[in-house]
Structure 1
Amino acid sequence: MARAYASAVIPAPAEQVWELVREFNGLPDWHPAIASSEIESGRSAGEIGAVRLLGLPDGCGAIRERLVALDDTARSYTYDMIEGPFPIRTYRSTITVFPITATGQAFVEWFGDYDAEAAEESKLEQTFGGGVYAAGLKALVERFS
């Protein structure tokens, strides 16, 4: 298993950041790489097992992800990618929002563990860590600045 990781300090209280990030169907509201999101499977966006269909910009494809854990107390959720354009066998990702008590800001970490061919791992780490996680966190910093 390989891991991609990104983190950032967001200039807003953790509760405020979590309110935005928590919405499993809300990625298009703050992530620049997600054009659309639709909940499938007849469940609500906050229900374990909900599946979201993410549309990429310019019709470049789609990703399906299933919510596997949601913890409002820990301000965290975990999801599995069940279909997408990446050469992976498995993928599980978690995003968590922590309070920085000394400053009143939020610390957000986003990581994913995935199984892929060894030759693909470095490229996927850049794609997930930089292209997905870091890009999303940068957008959160800009939104709350």
Structure 2
Amino acid sequence: MPRAYASGVVPASADAVWSHIRDFDSLPKWHPAITASELTSGTGAEVGAVRKLTLGDGGIVVERLLVLDDPDRSLTYEFLENPFGARRYVATLRVAPVTATGEAFVEWWAEFDADAADEKRLTDFFADGVYGGGIGALREHFAAAG
């Protein structure tokens, strides 16, 4: 089972970053690859909520929120539908404090199944493009705000 992973330091407190990304319907506000999000079930703070994301290329991803953990500043979700060919995809986005600097450490990872020929491409795409792109956008947002 492949595991895609990315992490980075964001120049803001963990609480500020968590507040910015916590709402399950907030991706278009901070992730450059997401042009729209629509909750089709539940609310942005409700486990079991389902969101329909529209990607910049017009692709559609449907995801369900599995865990929303405010004390741990993390959320876990799964793909219900995706155009990538990933199966049994479960991802976690987590924010932790960097105690030495007061900044936030953001990490995002997923485990999924895919055809063997697609595993490396999808692992790189999720780690570098999706997660790395999102963490980079958070870094730029908070650097500009600070």
Cα distance, 1:9 vs structure 2 = 0.3
Q: Distance in 2 between matches of 1:96 and 1:123?
A: 24
Give the 4+ runs in structure 1 shifted more than 6 A. none
Q: Counterparts in 2 of 1:94-109, with a 5 A limit?
A: 94-109=92-107
TM-score normalised by the chain length of structure 1: 0.96
Q: Which residue of 1 aligns with 2:40?
A: 40
Q: Paired residues, what number?
A: 143
1:76 pairs, out of 74, 77, 80, with 74
1:28 shift after superposition: 0.3
* Superposed displacement of residue 6, structure 1: 0.2
Aligned counterparts of 1:86 and 1:27: Cα–Cα separation in 2: 18
Q: 1-side partners of 2:103 and 2:22: how far apart?
A: 17
**What is the aligned partner in structure 1 of residue 50 from structure 2?**
51
Q: Does 1:18 align with 2:18?
A: yes
TM-score by length of 2: 0.96
Matches of 1:40 and 1:66, distance apart in 2: 10
What is the percent sequence identity of the aligned residues?
A: 52
Could you give the per-residue CA deviations for residues 74-93 of structure 1, whole angstroms, max 9, x where no partner exists?
00000001101011221000
**Could you say which residue in structure 1 is the equivalent of 2:85?**
87
Give the Cα separation in 2 of the matches to 1:15 and 1:45: 17
Give the whole-Å Cα distance in 1 for the aligned partners of 2:82 and 2:121. Answer: 16
Pairing 1:6–2:3 present: no
Runs of 5+ consecutive residues of structure 2 not aligned to the other structure:
none
Q: CA deviation at 1:142?
A: 0.3
Distance 2:112 2:26 in 1: 23
Letter in 2 for 1:79: Y
Q: Which amino acid aligns with 2:94?
A: T
Q: Which runs of 5+ in 1 are unaligned?
A: none
